Amino acid sequence: MLEDSLDILNGCSKVRTGIQNEAALLALMEKTGYSMVQENGQRKFGGPPPDWEGPPPPRGCEVFVGKIPRDMYEDELVPVFERAGKIYEFRLMMEFSGENRGYAFVMYTTKEAAQLAIRILNNFEIRPGKFIGVCVSLDNCRLFIGAIPKEKKKEEILDEMKNVTEGVVDVIVYPSATDKSKNRGFAFVEYESHRAAAMARRKLIPGTFQLWGHTIQVDWADPEKEVDEETMQRVKVLYVRNLMISTTEETIKAEFNKFKPGAVERVKKLRDYAFVHFFNRDDAMTAMSVMNGKYIDGAGIEVTLAKPVNKENTWRQHLNGHISPNSENLLLFPNKEEGHLKILGKPTFLPPRLNGQQSPKQIPEIERYTYPYFPGTKLTPISMYSLKWNQFNSAVMHLDYYCNKNNWAPPEYYLYSTTSQDGKILLVYKVVIPALSNGAQSYFMPDKLCTTLEDAKEMAAQFTLLHLVSLANCSHVGQRPCVSNQASFFRRKCKNQYEN
């Protein structure tokens, strides 16, 4: 095995010094018994480990590692990550030159080990002044399919997707809020693996693929957040889906109180779904069992436990209901047309460069309250730029604030439009950053079109912020400021939204 690994390690000695050399990696393999294979721009250590029996670990056992020094390799990294538990597989992304690409994926044998790695190794000082980032790795197996005829049933959609793609496990179809006999014009298709989903997306993505005579829309569905079992054991809130628009909170509360009067604390309804809060978890679990599949105002409802939202929510683009709204910390903005819902989570925003300060490790949740204004209250004129970055709640304002704090001219927005196949006016903004006019990229334009002006501008600002910090982290061009700490933090948060 060691002889076969010599070819794998060729090139590493060109960029490694001291103990970071070919012999160190060979010694690591000899000590642990793990094999090492390099393929497709990545080097796999393990997968499976020696004497492993049975299938690979389940979802939730893998973490993503970012900000790895480019001249650091498995002989240094593996011992660090073994502190959290037994490693099933360590995948280090590699450059052709022999350097690593700055990130890796570590799969543990248990979910508990992966969660411990995030707790003890995120922001860990891997070398003096070098801090790595560790977060959960989401292996997305779900595609969003839009522009589906609304009269199609789940069984028809499932059969059709199985005919045109491989590895289909299930489809998730939401009934229309106003007509339960129809779907909302989109579906989520679940595949047996990320690879199967990626192959299906590659086949369907060109825009010329048609189902039932309609050109469909295809994109990655935002993966559902994994919530640890310990947290879910404390949940006392139920998520109720497929309600009638006309159903009131009072009706829902009365229905869920029937099995035990006074068990429900409060109800929060948004469009055709609601969150039912209970005083006691046991009552919530009983109500879920009793009420799931029951009818309220003629609509068959689905009842599950609501998933808590982490306060460090990621940036998201939500087009046509890409996210299943199973968390109460979501705001819903329905457009006039059925099936076009904009769901926005409480966003975590990018901190600008402020006198070289690093971004905080914990991002405070934005507080949004109103207070009475009393006559005679003294008001002081201030500039928006004197506020803190976490006092803004839109990407447009953050981009303006970001440019100002870096002594750049304000961003310039240029609006473009086109017409969809069904006659809708679709909008997109091009954002120009004058300070980068001499650089490799001076303007940014998202790859998605919106039906409203506000959404188009917000999406363009989000897209620009993400790419600005990526550029800043990759190189220092001219007098471009260094925001590598913020860039790494922001890119980690946005990784799953914009990848692929």
| Domain segments of the chain as ranges | 25-136, 142-220, 230-305, 384-473
The strand pair at 299-300 and 302-305 is best described as unpaired
The CATH architecture annotation of domain 230-305 reads 2-Layer Sandwich (3.30)
Lowest mean pLDDT, pick from 378-387, 424-433, 486-495:
486-495
Annotation: CATH topology of 142-220: Alpha-Beta Plaits (3.30.70)
Structure tokens, 304: 């599950």
Tokens 């508990």, residue located:
112
What's the DSSP call for residue 437? T
Which of the given ranges, 198-212, 214-228, 292-306, 319-333, has the highest pLDDT on average?
292-306
The predicted-structure confidence for 342-366, as pLDDT tens digits, reads as follows 333 333 333 333 333 333 333 344 4
Tokens 């995948």, residue located:
91
136 or 1, higher pLDDT = 136
Lowest mean pLDDT, pick from 147-156, 209-218, 392-401, 432-441:
432-441
Structure tokens, 279: 């005083």
Asked if 216 and 201 count as a contact pair (C-beta separation under 8 A), the reply is no
Q: What angle do CA 242, 244, 245 make, to 5 degrees?
A: 120
Asked if 94 and 101 count as a contact pair (C-beta separation under 8 A), the reply is yes
Q: Indicate whether 9 pLDDT > 60.
A: no
Q: Indicate whether 424 pLDDT > 90.
A: no
pLDDT at 99: 87
Mean pLDDT of 90-114: 90
Q: Indicate whether 487 pLDDT > 60.
A: no
Assign 262 to helix, strand or coil.
coil
The Cβ-side half-sphere exposure at 140, using a 13 Å CA radius, reads 23
Lowest mean pLDDT, pick from 132-141, 240-249, 253-262, 326-335:
326-335
Q: Could you tell me which residues come within 8 angstroms of residue 30 by beta carbon, excluding any fewer than 6 positions away?
A: 2
Give 124's strand partners: 132
Q: Could you tell me which residues come within 8 angstroms of residue 318 by beta carbon, excluding any fewer than 6 positions away?
A: 222, 341, 342, 343, 344
Asked if 444 and 467 count as a contact pair (C-beta separation under 8 A), the reply is yes
pLDDT at 369: 53
Closest CA to 104 of 54, 155, 55, 41: 41
The predicted-structure confidence for 365-394, as pLDDT tens digits, reads as follows 444 555 666 667 778 887 777 777 667 778
Q: In what order do the strands lie in the sheet with 142-146?
A: 168-175, 183-191, 142-146, 217-220
Rounded CA-CA distance 49/45 in Å is 8
Q: Do domains 25-136 and 384-473 have the same CATH topology?
A: no
Q: Could you tell me which residues come within 8 angstroms of residue 252 by beta carbon, excluding any fewer than 6 positions away?
A: 240, 243, 267, 269, 274, 276, 296
Mean pLDDT of 91-95: 90
Tell me the chain's radius of gyration from C-alpha atoms.
25
User: Is 143 exposed, middle or buried, given 0-12, 13-18 or 19+ CB atoms closer than 10 A?
Assistant: buried
Structure tokens, 410: 């304000």
pLDDT at 13: 40
Rounded CA-CA distance 63/132 in Å is 12
Rounded CA-CA distance 280/403 in Å is 49
DSSP E strands in 384-464: the ranges are 412-419, 425-432, 443-444
The predicted-structure confidence for 114-141, as pLDDT tens digits, reads as follows 999 999 999 999 999 999 999 888 778 8
Mean pLDDT of 196-223: 80
> What CATH number belongs to 384-473?
3.30.160.20
Percent of the chain with pLDDT over 70: 72
Q: What angle do CA 75, 76, 78 make, to 5 degrees?
A: 75
Asked if 274 and 257 count as a contact pair (C-beta separation under 8 A), the reply is no
Lowest mean pLDDT, pick from 30-44, 196-210, 416-430:
196-210
The CATH architecture annotation of domain 25-136 reads 2-Layer Sandwich (3.30)
pLDDT at 481: 36
Asked if 177 and 245 count as a contact pair (C-beta separation under 8 A), the reply is yes
Residue 408 CA to its chain's centroid (Å): 29
What's the DSSP call for residue 212? T
Q: Indicate whether 241 pLDDT > 50.
A: yes
Cis peptide before 48 (omega within 30 of 0): yes
88: left (phi over 0), alpha (psi -120 to 50) or beta: alpha
Element of type H or E holding 195: helix 194-204
pLDDT at 119: 92
DSSP E strands in 395-497: the ranges are 412-419, 425-432, 443-444
Structure tokens, 487: 């860039």
Closest CA to 231 of 393, 111, 95, 321: 111
Q: Could you tell me which residues come within 8 angstroms of residue 267 by beta carbon, excluding any fewer than 6 positions away?
A: 249, 252, 253, 256, 274, 275, 276, 277
Mean pLDDT of 14-18: 45
277 or 435, higher pLDDT = 277
Question: Distance of CA 133 to CAs 130, 136, 201, 491, Å?
Answer: 10, 10, 29, 11
pLDDT at 51: 85
